[in-house]
Structure 1
Amino acid sequence: MTHVTIIGGGPGGYEAALVASRLGADVTLVERDGVGGSTVLTDCVPSKTLIATSDLLTDVSGAAELGIEAPTAVRADLAAVDKRVLALAQAQSDDIAERLAASGVKVLAGTATLESAQLVVVGDARIETDAILLATGAHPRVSDDAQPDGERILTWEQVYALEELPEHMIVVGSGVTGAEFASAYNGLGATVTLVSSRDRVLPGEDADAATVIEDVFTRRGMTVMGNSRMASVERIDDGVRVTLTDGRIVDGSHCLLALGSIPNTEGLGLDTIGVELDDGGFIKVDRVSRTNVRGVYAAGDCTGVLMLASVAAQQGRIAMSHLLGDAVHPLDLGKVSSNVFTSPEIATVGLSQKQVDESDASIVSATLPLASNARAKMQGVHDGFVKIFARRGMGIVVGGVVVGPKASELIHVISLAVSASLTVDQVADAFTIYPSLSGSVAEAARRLHDTP
């Protein structure tokens, strides 16, 4: 029997453990913070639970348009919200732990160090192993000039200790994490200032989609400071002061730092066994999750390959399938779907607008505003669109963007089309419900029929 040792219990680790066990391996999973890792305990699951409450309040705020009168203002009890957030995260962790136990996976609490590619040390335990999967994740990046204190200056892992809604939350960083939390706290009723070093929010996303989000942010009262770079963050009296590099000062009650992530690769002993890292400290892997050291694989945020829970899980599954001789489909980043959980959401799959613009391939696109959709009108939805990319002449769907409520659900049909190389006609010919938001996906595909 092959003995596999997995270091890290997040999606990349626990999904790999389940696959390895199912394929007959003896599996030991080492996790220092809790099963599920930061994704479940401090990052993805908690943040999306917080956002769910914010989305509900955002929907209620637009109820008057639908003819609903609220006798009193609806507000969130942040202490109760955060208590629920942490309880759900722990419940998810417990569920995963039960699945691992039922699958015969041995879970060992502690911090692992590699002495060789066949020997892992955890405290006093020395684990001889045939193969290793590194799934150690990443942690929030901070600055020497902006040190979190867990009270007023916070990372995204620390916000769930708040018992009262911040009077004025300053979010530094307008990438996915910054935009999501800015949207969430704005929806919860806080005054929000978003400090962006770029000329627009979400610089890595579809430009049309990012424009919609920034317009919505501004319309809902958020202050978006573009081309503004943080120099420092400090405590002042009962608040915080953010100083920008051009000398401007922004005072608020709290500051959330969303400055990116640093891989958890230090102290593992990777240099001892010769595992190669890139300039950012991320572990280099190929499309089947192999490192340069025989028998050592890596998955998830520690690899820097599209830092998404779904990608981490897939990398872990692929690694174990490759190791244990099962059928393997190497990771195809051209078929990955992702979502930004702002309000409205942004979901994407396949080729992006930027890739299309820079490509020599002949790609056509169609964009359909959701405001023209009957169901959207009924629900009071004004912002958002569906965009589909297809190969000219062939009509094969190669990518898409959805901006709107529950875009994370609507993108799935486009994701299926990209994954299966369906044509726009096949997408358009599939029946959709009338009225439904998904009808706009079919209509956008229909508009690409026989595009010259």
Structure 2
Amino acid sequence: MTHVAIIGGGPGGYEAALVAARSGADVTLVERDGPGGSTVLTDCVPSKTLIATSDVLTEVESSAELGVDLPREARADLAAVNFRVLSLAKAQSADIGDRLEASGVDVLAGTATLDPSGHVIATTANGERRIEADGVLVATGAHPRVTESARPDGDRILTWEQVYGLRDLPEHMIVVGSGVTGAEFASAYNGLGSPVTLVSSRDRVLPGEDGDAATLIEDVFTRRGMTVMGTSRMAAVERRGDGVRVTLTDGREVDGSHCLLALGSLPNTGGLGLKEAGVELDDGGFVTVDRVSRTSAPGVYAAGDCTGVLMLASVAAQQGRIAMSHLLGDAVRPLDLTKASSNIFTSPEIATVGLSQAKLEEDGVPFEVEMLPLAANPRAKMQGIRDGFVKLFSSKATGIVIGAVIVSPRASELVHVASLSVSASLTVDQVADAFTIYPSLSGSVAEAARRLHRHA
């Protein structure tokens, strides 16, 4: 029996543990915060639970045009919302813990390091324990980046891990950073009813995303009353009595009740003994891995945000599964990010899969594109949906679907058909020939595929 040691119990760690246990390995997992790690306890699960409440209020706000007469204004009780957020996070963590226990995984509450020989030293409440493993997976995740000029205090100046202690809606939330995290929280608090100012150092929100999608989202933000400050770089954030002041590099000042810092993430790789064990780190401190999650040290693998490959829970889980399959000699398909899907939980959501339009144009790949506004979709009309679109990319040479962007309510659910198409290398004709429901939002995916048909 192979003994596997896993440092970190987030998606990369616990999914790897389950794969290894199913394959008959003896598995020890060391986790500091609880099963599921920060993804479940302080990051992805809590944020998406908060966003779920925001989405309900956004739908209620637009219900009048559907003939719904509300007797009074709907408002969020943030204390109750955050209680539910944290309760669900704990419940999800407990479910993961139960699943690991049922699979025979030995879960240790504590921290761990690698010694120079590649073995694991776990530190728990009961002391140190040396784990002589045949293979090690490092899945320690990442933490919010802060700066010396913008230090969170957990009260008015907050990271995204600290917002769930708020009991009252912010009178004015300033979000610094317009990447995925900043855009999601700006959208959420706007939907919950807080005035929001989004400070973006770039000329538009979501600068790394599809241009059409980012433009649409910024238009929605401003139409819903959000102040979006483009090309505005933060210089400092300071506490000012019962509020905060954000100073920009051009001297302008923005006053608010709270500030949420969304400045990116840094890997949790310090103090683990990685370099001493022969594990190569890049200039940002991320673990360098190949497509089967191997590091530069024999028998040591890494998965998730600590690798910086693509900081998504789904990618972390896939990296962990691939690592264990490779370690244990099972059939394995190397990680292929050209077929990865992702979602931004703004309102509406932005789901993407495969190659982006910017990447296709940059590489000079001949492609066809079809973009259909959701406003023309009959189901969207019935539901009062005006904002959104479906965009498909296909290879000009083969007609195979190579990418998609979907902007829509619940785009994270709608994108799966496009994800399957990209993963299985289906042609636009194969996608178009599959039956869809009428009326349905997914009908727009099929219609876009039909419009990409190439005449023989």
Class of the TM-score when normalised by the shorter of the 2 chains: over 0.9
- Structure 1 equivalent of residue 110 of structure 2: 110
Deviation at 1:450, TM superposition (A): 0.8
Residue correspondence of structure 1 range 28-177 to structure 2 within 5 A:
28-123=28-123, 124-177=128-181
The DSSP-based 3-state class of the residue aligned with 1:349 is strand
Residue type matched to 2:206 in 1?
Answer: L
Q: 1:292 aligns with which of 296, 306, 329?
A: 296
Preserved contact between residue 184 and residue 344 of structure 2 (Cα < 8 Å):
yes
Alignment of 1:225 onto 2:225 = no
Find the aligned partners of 2:298 and 2:320 in 1 and give their Cα distance. 16
CA change 1:145–1:432 in 2 (3 A) is same
Preserved contact between residue 363 and residue 390 of structure 1 (Cα < 8 Å):
yes
Preserved contact between residue 13 and residue 316 of structure 1 (Cα < 8 Å):
yes
CA change 1:117–1:54 in 2 (3 A) is farther
Alignment of 1:324 onto 2:328 = yes
Deviation at 1:126, TM superposition (A): 1.4
Find the aligned partners of 1:271 and 1:424 in 2 and give their Cα distance. 48
CA change 1:24–1:117 in 2 (3 A) is farther
Q: Which consecutive residues of structure 2, in runs of 5 or more, have no partner in the other structure?
A: none
- Structure 1 equivalent of residue 315 of structure 2: 311
The DSSP-based 3-state class of the residue aligned with 2:115 is strand
- Structure 2 equivalent of residue 184 of structure 1: 188
- Structure 2 equivalent of residue 444 of structure 1: 448
Residue type matched to 2:297 in 1?
Answer: V
Residue type matched to 2:304 in 1?
Answer: G
User: For this pair of structures, how many residues does the alignment match?
Assistant: 452
Preserved contact between residue 178 and residue 199 of structure 2 (Cα < 8 Å):
yes
Alignment of 1:12 onto 2:16 = no
Find the aligned partners of 1:359 and 1:263 in 2 and give their Cα distance. 30
Q: 2:383 aligns with which of 379, 384, 392?
A: 379
Deviation at 1:451, TM superposition (A): 6.7
Deviation at 1:237, TM superposition (A): 1.1
- Structure 2 equivalent of residue 343 of structure 1: 347
Residue type matched to 1:320 in 2?
Answer: M
- Structure 2 equivalent of residue 359 of structure 1: 363
Deviation at 1:362, TM superposition (A): 1.1
Deviation at 1:359, TM superposition (A): 2.2
Find the aligned partners of 1:233 and 1:361 in 2 and give their Cα distance. 44
* Further displaced range: 289-298 or 272-281: 272-281
Find the aligned partners of 2:366 and 2:251 in 1 and give their Cα distance. 47
Deviation at 1:118, TM superposition (A): 3.7
- Structure 2 equivalent of residue 247 of structure 1: 251
Residue type matched to 2:220 in 1?
Answer: V
Find the aligned partners of 2:108 and 2:51 in 1 and give their Cα distance. 32
Please list every run of at least 4 consecutive aligned residues from structure 1 whose deviation after the TM superposition is greater than 4 angstroms.
none
1:311-348 CA-to-partner distances (Å, cap 9, x unmatched) read 00000000000000111000000110000000000000
Preserved contact between residue 364 and residue 451 of structure 1 (Cα < 8 Å):
no
Find the aligned partners of 1:22 and 1:116 in 2 and give their Cα distance. 29
Find the aligned partners of 2:397 and 2:11 in 1 and give their Cα distance. 40
Residue type matched to 1:63 in 2?
Answer: S
Q: Give the percent of matched residue pairs that are identical in Structure 1 and Structure 2.
A: 77
Deviation at 1:120, TM superposition (A): 1.2
Preserved contact between residue 197 and residue 229 of structure 2 (Cα < 8 Å):
yes
Preserved contact between residue 386 and residue 401 of structure 1 (Cα < 8 Å):
yes
Find the aligned partners of 2:66 and 2:347 in 1 and give their Cα distance. 18
Preserved contact between residue 169 and residue 185 of structure 1 (Cα < 8 Å):
yes
Residue type matched to 1:30 in 2?
Answer: V
Find the aligned partners of 2:54 and 2:279 in 1 and give their Cα distance. 43
Alignment of 1:263 onto 2:264 = no
The DSSP-based 3-state class of the residue aligned with 1:256 is strand
Find the aligned partners of 1:119 and 1:303 in 2 and give their Cα distance. 20
CA RMSD between the two structures = 0.8
1:34-76 CA-to-partner distances (Å, cap 9, x unmatched) read 1100000000000000000000000000011111111100000
Find the aligned partners of 2:142 and 2:228 in 1 and give their Cα distance. 28
Deviation at 1:133, TM superposition (A): 0.2
* Further displaced range: 119-128 or 102-111: 119-128
Residue type matched to 2:63 in 1?
Answer: A
Preserved contact between residue 117 and residue 295 of structure 1 (Cα < 8 Å):
no
Preserved contact between residue 275 and residue 281 of structure 2 (Cα < 8 Å):
no
The DSSP-based 3-state class of the residue aligned with 1:246 is coil
* Further displaced range: 356-365 or 276-285: 356-365
1:280-309 CA-to-partner distances (Å, cap 9, x unmatched) read 100000000000110000000000010000
Find the aligned partners of 1:54 and 1:401 in 2 and give their Cα distance. 23
1:225-283 CA-to-partner distances (Å, cap 9, x unmatched) read 00000000000011000000000000000000000000000000012112101111000
* Further displaced range: 436-445 or 392-401: 392-401
The DSSP-based 3-state class of the residue aligned with 1:111 is strand
The DSSP-based 3-state class of the residue aligned with 1:293 is coil
Residue type matched to 1:103 in 2?
Answer: S
Find the aligned partners of 1:323 and 1:393 in 2 and give their Cα distance. 38
CA change 1:127–1:242 in 2 (3 A) is same
1:188-215 CA-to-partner distances (Å, cap 9, x unmatched) read 0000000000000000110000000000
Residue type matched to 2:287 in 1?
Answer: I
Deviation at 1:111, TM superposition (A): 1.0
Preserved contact between residue 35 and residue 94 of structure 2 (Cα < 8 Å):
yes
Preserved contact between residue 145 and residue 265 of structure 2 (Cα < 8 Å):
yes
Find the aligned partners of 1:208 and 1:359 in 2 and give their Cα distance. 19
Preserved contact between residue 118 and residue 130 of structure 1 (Cα < 8 Å):
no
Preserved contact between residue 118 and residue 300 of structure 2 (Cα < 8 Å):
no
User: What TM-score, normalized by structure 2, do the two folds share?
Assistant: 0.98
Find the aligned partners of 1:170 and 1:6 in 2 and give their Cα distance. 38
Find the aligned partners of 1:109 and 1:71 in 2 and give their Cα distance. 50
Find the aligned partners of 1:394 and 1:155 in 2 and give their Cα distance. 46
User: What TM-score, normalized by structure 1, do the two folds share?
Assistant: 0.99
- Structure 2 equivalent of residue 25 of structure 1: 25
Alignment of 1:210 onto 2:214 = yes
Preserved contact between residue 9 and residue 29 of structure 1 (Cα < 8 Å):
yes
